[in-house]
Each structure stands twice: as structure tokens, then as C-alpha cells.
Structure 1
Amino acid sequence: MAHCCGHDLHTSCLLGVARLLSEEKARLRGRVVLIFQAAEEALPGGGRMLMETGLLQELGVEAIYGLHTYPFLEPGQITTREGRLMASPSEFIVEVNGRGGHAAAPHQTVDPIVAAAQIVTQLQTIVSRNTDPLEPAVVTVGKINAGTARNIIPEKATLEGTIRTFDIARTREIFARIRHISEHVAAAAGGSAQAELIEGYPPVINNPDTTARLLRVAGPAALPLDAPVMAGEDFAFYQREIPGTFFFLGSGSDEADSRHTWHHPRYNVDERCLKTGIAVMAGLVPGYCEAIQKRL
């Protein structure tokens, strides 16, 4: 089981950076800290836990950079933008309670599956009718669980999903609507519902100075990114205290069948992107020799 996002390639890329920098250690100025990503897809996120240890602060880290594979560009290309890059992802769970019974006698039950289906439909109105159309927001139900057999109406149904915004206050407003809709739709069906919000990472906001440096190092490999994306990333926890920039590494090609979007079951990467990822990350280190970059 995997969420298919390229984290194995991220690890390989950083190992390549480590090897190159260790070979040219005498040329480097200052200290370089390499962070392998832990628990990025599981709240509260490895970035938050690492920052809470105080280790990076003790080491005096002054700038931080990170990358993620990007199937929408070719190997040899990167993209990023100053300011808003990625959204803040939070999670929600809704439990709908009814009264179970035989599928042949629905009138003797309170069907939580029907109520859950109506809740999913009603949640689609939150972004279109309850949020500012000029502010990005996403509400997605990604998991529904109910029932044990075809001829049984279950006691409960559970919905799980995600809220994406660039402002935690907006996330809380959206969740309030999720809770209100869930409780009242379930009550109208004769049941009840409880909703829980699990707040996630902050948004990824790229620092102007570190972004400008990244673009200089990447040169013509860097392409503009016109708008932020609504995916989330725990790199945001580093940026709360350390100036930093996150960027996307082109990994899509027809040859590698790697143009499928993140989390697609056939997600793949074109490993030729390692060359670019290693060169850019190593090139960000002060004192790193340009001749070494050229050999990549």
C-alpha cells in the first residue's frame, strides 16, 4: 500500500547531494544540514516534530530548501513561486448514527448510508456558496465506510475528508459548516451526527530572498508557476522560523509513463530528474564549485 507521491526519489536525490557535498567538503563554507523527510503524510507531520526538538535552531540554520516531484513538467525543469505555494491541509471525520435493521424493512430503520450520501452532496455547496470566491478553498470527501453485508442497514456510517485553504481561520469556518450540515441532515433523517476537525500543516509560503537565490541557481531550468497548488506539505513548519523555499522538480515523461498526477495508482517518476534535483540542491550551498555542477 502506498500513496504514490515520489518520496523514494526525494530520498535518492538527497543521498546524491550528500555524496557530492562530501566529495567537495573542503570547498564548502559553513555547515550543511540534510533532512530526510519523516511522516510527511501523517499529521502532525515530521517537520513539526523536528522543529519542536529545537535541533535546527541550535545548529543555527539560516535558510532551508525542499523539493517534491512534479509530473506536470519534464525532467530538467523545476518550478516554484514567491509567497503562497501550497495550501494548509486539515482533515475531518463525520460519524453518522442511525438505527440498523433488515434491508427488506427500511421503514423500521434509520438508514445512515442515505443520510451520509445526502451529507456528501450538501458539502459540495460550502465552497460554492459559503466561501469568498477570490480565496482558494477545497472540501473533499475521500473515504466512506459503512455496512458489513448487502442485506443489512448498518447502525452508522463514517465520512473522512480534507479541507484545503491558506488561512486556518477560514478552515475553521468551513468546518463549522461541515458540522452544521452533518448534524442537521442526520437529524432530518431521524439520526444524529458528530464531526471532528484535525488541524494540519500551515500553508507553504516561500521567502522572497531564498526564492530569488533558488531561481538564480536553477537558471533556465526554472519555469514560472502562475498559481499556488492546493496540496499540502509539512515543510511549512520549517518556514515558520527559518527563511526557506520549496520547489517542484519536473518528473513527467511519456517514456517513463510518469505524467499521472500525485496519488494516482500508476504514479511513477522519470529518474532522469535526479540529475536536476541534485544539481540544484547542491548548487544552493555557498562555496559549491560550479565545475561540479557542470559535470552533472
Structure 2
Amino acid sequence: DGFMENPHVDFMFGAHVQAYLEVGKIESKYDTLNASSNSVLIEVNGKRGHGAYPQNGIDALVAAAQIITSLQSIVSRNLAPHEMGVLTLGKIEGGDAGNVICDHVEIQGTLRTLNKQERDFMVKRATEIVENTAAAYRCQAKFMLRARRGYDALINDREMVDIVKTNAEEFLGEDSFVYKDYPSMGAEDFSLFLENCKGAFFHVGCGNKEKGITSLIHTADFDIDERCLSIGTIMHVLNVLYFN
């Protein structure tokens, strides 16, 4: 929509609080920081029938159960040990009554990978498993990504991460910056901005163990040490002033 062009954006920084980090700590990572994310929908179709006469129906529920189990093999048997991917199926709906052969099942989930190649491969394998497993149980099934695109992997520019590190250490002390060991499989829409400019995403510590502020984000009892608000603001200002 032209957001990055009026005015033109050359560099960009983004931040997110994290309660596993103590207030006063800044965390980031070179290269891939967050995974890509796609919503998944699986539809399984069979034939409705009376539960007393299973030979007259085609049970989509049985096929769906086997599909769910078989999809777990993608990460454990199709990805190399050093590769990271997640296929979580969190919702299943199907059937009308306990004595009726189910003719339609929908399964919803999420797919997370660290690069486009792994995402394309997991989609291909999932499609093969879903269609062929369903066929083995006389059903038809489709594996679909629910939107044209989700969030791509968030890939930090190394030079921009160094700017964050320098400013964190000068502002908060030499031990304030933390390198994140592994990418997060959580997604972050900041990745869309980094397709158009150089930038870095970093985490601002908001936890305080002494005050019992330790609950992770997206939980009912999440809280912050409010000192993180000024720290995050100052970090953004310092990052911008670096270019003056």
C-alpha cells in the first residue's frame, strides 16, 4: 500500500517485550529470529451411514485419525536433525452423533518453518500423506494453507543487530545484551517490513523474578516491570540516532 515509500524507509527496528528476560536485558539474534507461519486446513470426506452397518459407510473420522498420526512423521522422519519445523494440529471437528458413520472432518492447525525451502517441502509431504492416507481408507482429503500467504521467517540484518547490541551495552551495561541461541518458532509480522528494507527485531526484558513477574506472553497472568517501557523507548531513539 506504499507505506514503505512515503517517505522511503531505508532502515527499520522493531521490539517485543519478553518476560523470560529480566528488565534491563536486550536480546536479539543474527539472521533468522522467528519462524514463518501458515494456518492449515485439512478436509476429509467419506460417506455417511448408520453405525450399526459400517460396511455401508466410509468413515472419515477413522481416516482423519490416521492422517493426524501419520503427519507426525514429517518432522521426526523427513527433516534432517539440524532442521527445524513444526506442524501442530490443534482443532478437529466431525460427526453428528455417536451412532452415525462420519462423512466429513475438518482439521485445523499451524505450520512453522525457518525458510521457504523447508516450508515448501513440508507442504508437499503433508499433501502426499493426507491424500494417500485418506485413499487407503476409501476417503478423499485435501491439505490446504488457509490464506494465500502467512508470515515469512523474520531474518535480521547482521549490521542492524550490531547497532542494537552497541546501543544496549552503552545504555544498559556490558552484560545487558543477550544473543538468542535458537530461532523462535513463534511468528512475527515484522518480517513483512524486512522484505523491503534492512532492519532488526529485538526483545526487551520485562520480567522481574523478585516481584514474581515471570509469566510468559499471551498468558492470562502476563505482567511487566514497567521500567521496560522507558527502556524500549530509549533503545528505539538510540537506534535511530545512530544514523545521524
After TM superposition, the score normalised by the length of structure 2 is: 0.86
Contact in 2 for aligned 1:258/1:267 (Cα 8 Å): no
1:91-146: CA deviation from partner (whole Å, max 9, x where unpaired): 32110011223344444322212211111111111111112222222221122122
Deviation, structure 1 residue 243 = 0.9
Contact in 2 for aligned 1:103/1:151 (Cα 8 Å): yes
Most deviating of 169-178 and 275-284:
275-284
Write the distance in 2 (CA, Å) between the matches of 1:143 and 1:111.
Answer: 18
2:22 aligned partner:
74
Deviation, structure 1 residue 207 = 0.9
Choose from 246, 268, 279 the match for 2:222. Answer: 268
Instruction: Specify every segment of 5 or more residues in structure 2 that has no aligned partner in the other structure, as ranges.
Output: none
Distance 1:190-1:267 versus aligned 2 partners, 3 A rule: farther
Instruction: Specify every segment of 5 or more residues in structure 1 that has no aligned partner in the other structure, as ranges.
Output: 1-52, 289-296
**1:206 to 2:156 alignment:** yes
**1:90 to 2:38 alignment:** yes
Most deviating of 276-285 and 170-179:
276-285
Q: Which runs of 4+ in 1 moved over 6 A?
A: none
- Give the number of equivalent residue pairs: 234
Distance 1:109-1:91 versus aligned 2 partners, 3 A rule: same
After TM superposition, the structure 1 = structure 2 runs for residues 94-105 of structure 1, keeping only pairs within 5 Å, are: 94-105=42-53
Q: In the alignment, residue 194 of structure 1 is paired with which amino acid?
A: K
Identity of aligned residues (%): 33
2:91 aligned partner:
143
Contact in 2 for aligned 1:256/1:270 (Cα 8 Å): no
Deviation, structure 1 residue 171 = 1.1
What is the RMSD computed on CA atoms of the aligned residues? 2.2
Write the distance in 2 (CA, Å) between the matches of 1:267 and 1:174.
Answer: 35
Q: In the alignment, residue 198 of structure 2 is paired with which amino acid?
A: P
Contact in 1 for aligned 2:52/2:99 (Cα 8 Å): yes
Deviation, structure 1 residue 55 = 2.7
Choose from 189, 200, 205 the match for 1:234. Answer: 189
Q: Which has the higher strand share?
A: 2
Distance 1:263-1:145 versus aligned 2 partners, 3 A rule: farther
Write the distance in 1 (CA, Å) between the matches of 2:19 and 2:200.
Answer: 19
After TM superposition, the score normalised by the length of structure 1 is: 0.72
Deviation, structure 1 residue 271 = 4.1
1:216-264: CA deviation from partner (whole Å, max 9, x where unpaired): 111133212111111111111111221100012223345455423x444
